[in-house]
Chain A
Amino acid sequence: METIRHKRWVKAAHLIITLSFFALFFTGVEILMVHPRLYWGDAGNDLTPALFELPISRNYHHGGWEKSTPFFHTVSSPVSASRTYDIFNENGWGRSTHFLAAWFLVITGVLYLIMGVFTGHFRTNILPRVKDFRLRLLWRDFIGHFHKLVAPASPGKYGLLQKSTYLIVIFFLLPLIALTGMTMSPAITAAHPILLTVFFGAQSARTIHFFASVALLIFFIVHVVMVVRTGFKQNIIGITIGKQHEKTTAN
């Protein structure tokens, strides 16, 4: 099988984005552990109902609250309560690492998008041809992935399912996770309140951010499985130190 010879800037972007993804995922889990409850809308906290909760730290279902006091003299008044429980919180380094890695992802991602458009990388390598894009073919490609070693549609090219997946990751999941991340920022939403409208509120954005990260994790796992199945060594060499103009051949 012939491996794809990646351009140098593609390899560099792939490396930086992969490392950023690792740092973002690790610190993202840490940040979620501090408050493992997800909500819909603008507000959500320990004193309001959650959409769902994840049992991933000692903060899960902790009952460390003083008796609550209502703000108003109504039956369904929102309440205040003081926390008495020493929660798990490593957000000091967690958040700063998350945002530092996010800068690497966003800056590299934007440069990658610009390069991808202007070099024709997206057109030649990622976008499926309209005539190729048939749901039946996509389904056949999908089933094929479970049966045999996947041969590319043509040597050195991505398959239809592969192209479609990369399209979703590059043009949907990564922009979505970046924008929902920004929707949690008070300064950014002050300047761009439309983010709060588009994502149904700051807590909804956080929940979407979580699901986007789960989708990216699934992509990552399947991607690695396919990399291993189609020849781990030459794939890794191809995307990292592989020479751009040298033909690598392997079985």
Chain B
Amino acid sequence: MKKQQPINRRKAIVAGLTSLGGLMLSGCFKKNLPPTYGNILRMGDAFTYFAQRKLLPGQSLVKEYQPSDISSFPATGTTNPADPKSPYYSKAYGPLQSNNFADWCLSIEGSVARPGSYSLADLKKLPSRTQITRHTCEEGWSAIGEWTGVPLSVILNNAGVLPNARFVNFYGYDAYFDSIDMIDALHPQTILAYGMNGSDLSVPHGAPLRLRVETQIGYKSVKYLQRITVTDKFVDPGDTGWSWYTGI
């Protein structure tokens, strides 16, 4: 019988490469990278994030389309948080919806000088941006829609983001959570959308307000927004099994 070795060659090579990768990433990228949980796939994701941030100009605009390009648009993920049968049922959402979201408000807190909250009417009074963009789903499909909303940068500037802030976190009524870095948060096409294709945002698409991150895959565009926080550190949801950064 073969003697069991405490560490075999394969393990040694994997460990060596892993730590080398970790060193390279932390060495070249002084700012916080999302945690990799010791998972080779998350290390690959972190490398893609690092490479895209280094190689691509962060604020170039995605292609905008003509009204005639607007396509049919599937609603996936949570499509109705007021549905008690949904695993993402929210008790609070139904009453807000039945009152046409008049009582709804979005709070912004964390590393900001002036935390506050906005009603839907407040948001509609702010400078708005309308853009016809392509939504790219991780599943492989895409759809073109027109979105109207407040640039996230307007909200962030109103709140006065503190110099150490690095991430913006989004909490949806359907218990969905996600975050983006400041480069995407301040991107001119990153908006908080209350309108879609010329109408108020419908419930299946995230009423009353959803995030649009046009430089990333669709699942970053959190629907049914409830709360935004700005943080200096990465808010770790644990390894969800999905890449945090999805610019690819």
Contact = CB atoms under 8 A, between A and B. Distances in A.
B131 interface: no
Interface in B230-248: 240-243, 247-248
B244 to A, nearest CB: 10
A32 B140 contact: yes
Contacts of A185: 247-248
Nearest to B56: A191
A99 B40 CA distance: 12
Contacts of A45: 71-74, 137, 141-143
A240 interface: no
Contact of A186 (B62, B71, B139): B62
A187 B52 contact: yes
Interface stretch (A2-10, A82-90, A145-153, A218-226): A82-90
Interface stretch (B110-118, B168-176, B210-218): B210-218
Interface string B67-107: 00111111110011000000000000000000000000000
Contacts of B61: 190
B127 to A, nearest CB: 22
Size class of the B contact interface (CB-based, 8 Å)? 35 or more
B144 A43 contact: yes
Nearest to B220: A186
Contact of A196 (B63, B73, B243, B247): B63
Contact of A96 (B139, B197, B243): B243
A191 B51 CA distance: 13
A202 B140 contact: no
Interface stretch (A71-79, A108-116, A119-127, A135-143): A71-79
B41 A100 contact: yes
Considering residues A32, A87, A185, which has the most beta carbons from chain B within 10 angstroms of its beta carbon?
A185
Given A185-B248, A191-B57, A196-B63, A44 B141 contact: yes
B177 interface: no
B75 A82 contact: yes
B134 A99 contact: no
Contacts of B204: 80, 82
Contacts of B196: 71
Given A81-B74, A191-B56, A186 B69 contact: no
B138 interface: yes
Interface string B140-153: 11111000000000
Contacts of A46: 74, 141
A80 B202 contact: yes
B52 A184 contact: no
B136 A83 contact: no
Contacts of B141: 35, 37, 44-46
A78 B215 contact: no
Nearest to A96: B41
Considering residues B62, B141, B214, B216, which has the most beta carbons from chain A within 10 angstroms of its beta carbon?
B141
Given A42-B65, A71-B199, A202-B134, A99 B71 contact: no
Contacts of B215: 186-187, 190
Interface in A3-26: none
Interface stretch (B6-14, B24-32, B42-50, B155-163): B42-50
Interface string A87-110: 101011101110110010000000
30 contacts: A32-B140, A35-B140, A35-B141, A37-B141, A44-B71, A44-B142, A45-B71, A45-B73, A45-B143, A47-B74, A48-B72, A66-B79, A71-B199, A78-B197, A80-B204, A82-B80, A87-B139, A92-B243, A93-B241, A96-B243, A100-B40, A100-B44, A100-B47, A103-B48, A103-B51, A184-B136, A186-B216, A187-B215, A190-B62, A196-B63
Interface of A: 31-32, 34-35, 37, 42-48, 65-66, 68-69, 71-72, 78-83, 87, 89, 91-93, 95-97, 99-100, 103, 182, 184-191, 193, 196, 202-203, 206
Interface of B: 40-45, 47-48, 51-52, 56-57, 60-63, 65, 69-76, 79-80, 134, 136-144, 196-199, 202, 204-205, 214-217, 240-243, 247-248
